[in-house]
Amino acid sequence: MDFDLTEEQRLLKESVERLLADRYAFEQRQAYQKSPEGWSRELWRAYAELGLLGLPFAEEEGGVGGGPVETMIVMEAFGRALALEPYLSTVVLCGGILRRTGQKELLPRIADGSLLLAFAHGEPRSRWRLDHVETQVENGRVTGEKAVVLHGDSAEKLVVSARDGKGRIGLYLVDAGATARRGYPTQDGQRAAEIRLDGTPVEAVLAEDGMPLIERVVDEAIAALAAEAVGAMTALQELTVDYLKTRKQFGVPIGTFQALQHRAVDMLVATEQARSMAMFATMMAGEEDAAERRKAIAAAKVQVGRSARFVGQQAIQLHGGIGMTAEYKGGHYFKRLTMIDQMFGPADHHLERLAEAGGLFD
């Protein structure tokens, strides 16, 4: 058993953190967010140069052959920087599907940064159920509505789930330009789109029976989000402790008050428990036994969601009025953490799934 990073992993961590420290200060981040696309093409190219966009792909597919640990390292750094780029959509979700469905010619285009993708799966009535798909595929054409598609507005191609005549949920590649899209910002400053497909032609059939693959990449995405949340929580926790040391009231730093110290400690404990479960999720993301993997990922989502809620709410409270202002970074961490809990189902949803599956220990 060993929690240490390898030499290559340490180098990866250092180079991502250095890039983001140089080019993702909070003011820069706010400028990227206000740009028309809502994120930075320049940073996207920098990610490509660092090899981040081909991280999970094999070397012959233009990638670097990284695994879940490498994804964790990158996502944690993104969480700390509140990065806005469509990494989860393009690399983790769609890259995860394409590399397992023989779309090898597209992978080098993801890796070099020239192809953006979005995973169009959720629908207006599906809520968190992964198997609720009303969109239809018939004679090579897809018709239906897809809801809150992350970075669906800037994607060139979409991976769409649809039900065929036999009732199977399959995965299909379509040209995003052939759909009707309404892009919008999300609460945390990221982007998403509502997408309507009306007989949109299928460019490639990725999987006719796609549920196991959908569950698998969603589990990988949850593990990645857990790492992102840990990055954001750690930064927010540190920001709060710094504030407690500098803000003076009654003639002393407010961090000298035991009520506030203990709250800050509970934030640290919550963050570390989440970090432990993000590591557990990373370890289990590659588990072939789907039932075991699902339980582990659900457990991680529960812990991360609960920790994120606690750390976020307490950080705002301990900052007082400053925590409420839009120009302060803290509130943006809180909003991102709140949205991460929502993504792929909040803590209570996963607790219910875990409990139904018999829990973690037998």
Partner 1 sequence: MDLRFTPEEIAFRDEVRAFFRDNVPAKTREKLIAGRPLDKDDIVTWQRILNKRGWAVPNWPVEWGGQNWSPVQRYIFDEEMQLAPAPQPLPFGVSMVGPVIIAFGNEQQKKRFLPRIANLDDWWCQGFSEPGAGSDLASLKTRAERKGDRYIVNGQKTWTTLAQYADWIFCLCRTDPAAKKQEGISFLLIDMKTPGITVRPIVTIDGGREVNEVFFDDVEVPVENLVGEENKGWTYAKFLLGNERTGIARVGLSKQRLRRVKALAREVGLMDDPRFREKVAAVEVELKALEMTQLRVVAAERHRKDKKPDPFSSILKIKGSEIQQATTELALEVAGPYAMPYVPPQEGRNEPPIGPEWAAPLAPTYFNWRKVSIYGGSNEIQRNIIAKAILGL
To the nearest 10 degrees (0 to 180), the angle between helices 211-246 and 258-284 is: 160
Select the residue interacting with partner 1 from 111, 235, 236, 264 (CB under 8 A): 264
Question: How far is CA 109 from each of CA 6, 62, 64, 91, 104, rounded to the nearest angstrom?
Answer: 28, 8, 14, 11, 10
Q: How far is the CB of 42 from partner 1 (least distance, A)?
A: 31
Secondary structure string (H, E, C) spanning 85-103: CCHHHHHHHHHHHHCCCCC
User: Is 233 a binder of partner 1 (CB under 8 A)?
Assistant: no
Site for partner 1 in 4-33 (CB under 8 A): 4-6, 9
- Measured in whole angstroms, the distance separating CA 19 from the mean position of its chain's CA atoms is 19
Pair 168, 136: CB distance under 8 Å: no
User: Is 354 a binder of partner 1 (CB under 8 A)?
Assistant: yes
Q: How far is the CB of 283 from partner 1 (least distance, A)?
A: 5
Query: Which of 100/248 has CB closer to partner 1?
Result: 248
Which residues partner with 249 through β-bridges?
A: 252
Pair 216, 290: CB distance under 8 Å: yes
Pair 205, 165: CB distance under 8 Å: no
Site for partner 1 in 63-82 (CB under 8 A): 69
User: Is 273 a binder of partner 1 (CB under 8 A)?
Assistant: yes
Interface with partner 1 by CB under 8 A: which range of 34-42, 44-52, 261-269, 321-329? Answer: 261-269
Query: Which of 208/266 has CB closer to partner 1?
Result: 266
Q: How far is the CB of 261 from partner 1 (least distance, A)?
A: 4
Interface with partner 1 by CB under 8 A: which range of 99-107, 123-131, 277-285, 308-316? Answer: 277-285
Distance, first Cα to last Cα, the chain: 23
User: Is 158 a binder of partner 1 (CB under 8 A)?
Assistant: no
Site for partner 1 in 290-319 (CB under 8 A): 299, 302-303
User: Is 236 a binder of partner 1 (CB under 8 A)?
Assistant: no
Query: Which of 269/290 has CB closer to partner 1?
Result: 269
The token pair that represents 257 in the structure block: 């008050």
Q: How far is the CB of 215 from partner 1 (least distance, A)?
A: 19
User: Is 252 a binder of partner 1 (CB under 8 A)?
Assistant: no
Interface with partner 1 by CB under 8 A: which range of 24-32, 89-97, 218-226, 258-266? Answer: 258-266
Pair 209, 168: CB distance under 8 Å: yes
Length of the chain: 362
- Measured in whole angstroms, the distance separating CA 322 from the mean position of its chain's CA atoms is 27
Select the residue interacting with partner 1 from 21, 31, 269, 290 (CB under 8 A): 269
Q: Which residues are CB-neighbours of 326 under 8 A, at least 6 positions away?
A: none
Q: How far is the CB of 295 from partner 1 (least distance, A)?
A: 9
DSSP H stretches of helix in 24-87: 26-34, 41-50, 68-81, 87
Q: Which residues are CB-neighbours of 348 under 8 A, at least 6 positions away?
A: none
Pair 278, 226: CB distance under 8 Å: yes
The token pair that represents 296 in the structure block: 């582990």
User: Is 272 a binder of partner 1 (CB under 8 A)?
Assistant: yes
The token pair that represents 192 in the structure block: 């998403």
Interface with partner 1 by CB under 8 A: which range of 33-41, 228-236, 273-281, 308-316? Answer: 273-281
Select the residue interacting with partner 1 from 48, 268, 322, 339 (CB under 8 A): 268
User: Is 244 a binder of partner 1 (CB under 8 A)?
Assistant: yes
Pair 151, 120: CB distance under 8 Å: no
Helix H or strand E encompassing 136: strand 136-138
Q: How far is the CB of 279 from partner 1 (least distance, A)?
A: 6
Q: How far is the CB of 267 from partner 1 (least distance, A)?
A: 9
Query: Which of 189/231 has CB closer to partner 1?
Result: 231
Contacts with partner 1, residue ranges (CB under 8 A): 1-6, 9, 69, 241, 244-245, 255-256, 258, 261-262, 264-266, 268-269, 272-274, 276-277, 279-280, 282-283, 299, 302-303, 351-352, 354-356, 359-362
